[in-house]
Every structure is written in C-alpha cells, then in structure tokens.
Amino acid sequence: MSILERTRRQPQAVALPIGPRTAAVLVLASVAGLMMLCWPLLLNAQPGQRVEPPFLFLALLPLVVVVVLAEMGEGGMDSRVLAVLGVLSAINAVMRGLGAGTAGIEMVFFLLILGGRVFGAGFGFALGCTSLFASALLTAGVGPWLPFQMICAAWVGMGAGLLPRRVTGRAEIVMLVAYAVFASYAYGLLMNLSYWPFALGIAVPGHEGSLSYVAGAPVLENAHRFLVYTLLTSTGGWDTGRAITTGIAIVVLGPAILTTLRRAARRAVVHPG
C-alpha cells in the first residue's frame, strides 16, 4: 500500500477543536493584525505629513496572541498537544534558520501548512505564532517586524486548518500545493504592507513616478502604488521562490508527514469540556 493510499484512509482528526470563545479570540487577534497592517491606507492625514508607526499596536498583538494561547489551553489543550506544538515549533525554528529566506527559499511554511491541515485551524494559528517567535530568538531576529511575521504566519497555519477536510489522497496534496502557492504570495504581500508606508522615496527603474506611500492620498491611489511596488520588487522574486519551495516540499514530503502527524493526532486528540 502506497503512502498516498494510507493517507487516504487516515481519519481527518482535529487535535485542537475551536470552541466559541476561542473562535471569538481568534477573530479579535485577526482584526488587530489587519489594523496593524492596513491602518496607513485608512489614515486621514494631510499631504506631506510625517506618518509614524503605531507602537501601541506592536504592544497589543503579542498580548492578543497570549490570550489566544490561554483560551486554547482553557479549552482542553493537554500535555500531548502541547508536546506536538513544541516539537513542530522547534523543527520550524531550526529549518527557518537553515533557509533564512535566501532567494525566497523558506522551509517553514510547508510544515506549518501540514500541521494546520491535520490538527486544525486553532493549532495552525498557534503553530504560526510560536514557530516565528522561536526562530526569531534562535537567529537573533527579534525586532519591530516580528509581530507582523507572527500574525501573518498564524494566518497561514489557520487557513490550512480551514480547508475542506473531506479531500483526501492525491487531491489533498494538489489542494495543499495550491493553497501553499496562494499563501506564499499573500504572506509576501502582507509583509510588504507592514513596512511600505514608512519607506520613503521608492523609485523603481523603468517606472515613472514614485511608488512611496502618500499621506492623505485616496485609498485606491495608495493601494495602486503598493500593488505595483509589490509586483515589481517581491512577487516575481522572493514570493515566487517561497511558493516553489513550499509546493515542492509538500509534493515530496507531504504524504509521509501527513501520515506521521495523523498517527500522532489519534493519540493526542482532545475534546472540548
């Protein structure tokens, strides 16, 4: 029996079910993250006014993440699930240090997607946060960009857990690869948005005019500048490299890792209450 056939027969266990309170806190954390990323586009500023990053948001998001993890623990996350979360976070931290994003090579996202797929959206959210936090500590990469990386990676893991669970076998691998490509480009776009409003004097050769954020300009004009900036500086390079790396890793390693994780999920599965 092939690995894909064994994967097709594995139960779609969710080790960390999402209760109403946890779902509400996940929504709160996501709204806070969107506010952190999108507030410059909605800011009512005067043309030429200096725009400062909202350091209050940078302090708020880690607090929200802590609340999310606490809610998950209160909802029935036992020591076995914590152990799986710790192991996967540690592996991701080491793998991210090996790749370091060189030429878009990212070895974090495929395991993050597979973990979210097997253990559910709540687990995927937690794994994204803890993986990026642990890797930042390991590589001395702690900085104002870390909360943005954590929330964006958390969304990647959460999205994998929300994919249709009835899809199995080869169709599941195809679905995960398609999601990995989408998530890779979405992650790059959101991370660009986290610093683009504060990058002054952006000029791209062959493109007329500046692509910098303009305080007080209409939302659609700033959005257009940002999308052009992302397409010219990120999409064709870093983001495409991330998408290719993650997709290949899922095709090559995905079936075996899914089988292993599902075997662990059967032993670590918990139920609310």
DSSP assignments along 146-163, one per residue: HHHHHHHHHHHHHHHHTS
Q: What is the pLDDT of residue 272?
A: 39
| DSSP H or E run through 121 | helix 121-138
What b/e string do you get for 184-213 counting C-beta neighbours within 10 Å, with b at 16 or more? bbbbbbbbbbbebbeeeeeeeeeeeeebbb
Q: What does the chain come to in residues?
A: 273
CA 133, CA 192: separation in Å to the nearest integer? 19
Q: Residue 256: what pLDDT? A: 94
* Structural domain harbouring 241: 3-268
Give long-range contacts, CB 8 A cutoff, 24+ apart: 210-217: 213/40, 213/51, 214/47, 215/40, 215/43, 215/45, 215/46, 215/47, 215/48, 215/49, 215/50, 215/51, 216/44, 216/45, 216/46, 216/47, 216/48, 216/49, 217/47
Q: Is residue 28 helix, strand or coil?
A: helix
User: Is residue 115 assigned to a domain?
Assistant: yes
pTM for this predicted structure: 0.80
Asked, for residue 132, whether it belongs to a domain, the answer is yes
Q: Number of structural domains, the chain?
A: 1
The pLDDT of residue 220 is: 82
Assess if residue 273 is contained within a domain: no
Does residue 146 sit within a domain?
Answer: yes
Digit-by-digit pLDDT tens for the chain (273 residues) are 455 555 444 445 455 667 777 777 788 888 888 887 877 676 655 555 555 555 656 665 666 666 666 666 665 566 677 788 889 988 888 887 776 555 556 778 999 999 999 888 888 888 898 888 888 887 767 777 788 888 899 999 999 988 998 888 899 999 999 999 999 999 988 888 877 777 655 555 555 556 777 766 777 877 788 888 888 777 777 788 889 999 999 999 999 999 998 888 877 654 433
Query: What is the full DSSP assignment across the chain?
Result: --HHHHHHHS----SS---HHHHHHHHHHHHHHHHHHHHHHH----TT------HHHHHHHHHHHHHHHHHHHHTT--HHHHHHHHHHHHHHHHHHHHHTTGGG--SSHHHHHHHHHHH-HHHHHHHHHHHHHHHHHHTT--STTHHHHHHHHHHHHHHHHTS-TT--HHHHHHHHHHHHHHHHHHHHHHHHHHHGGG--S---TTS-S--S--TTS-HHHHHHHHHHHHIIIIIIIIIHHHHHHHHHHHHHHHHHHHHHHHHHHHHH-----
The pLDDT value recorded for residue 11 is: 46
Q: Counting Cβ atoms within 10 Å, is residue 164 exposed (0-12), middle (13-18) or buried (19+)? A: exposed
pLDDT at position 222 is 77
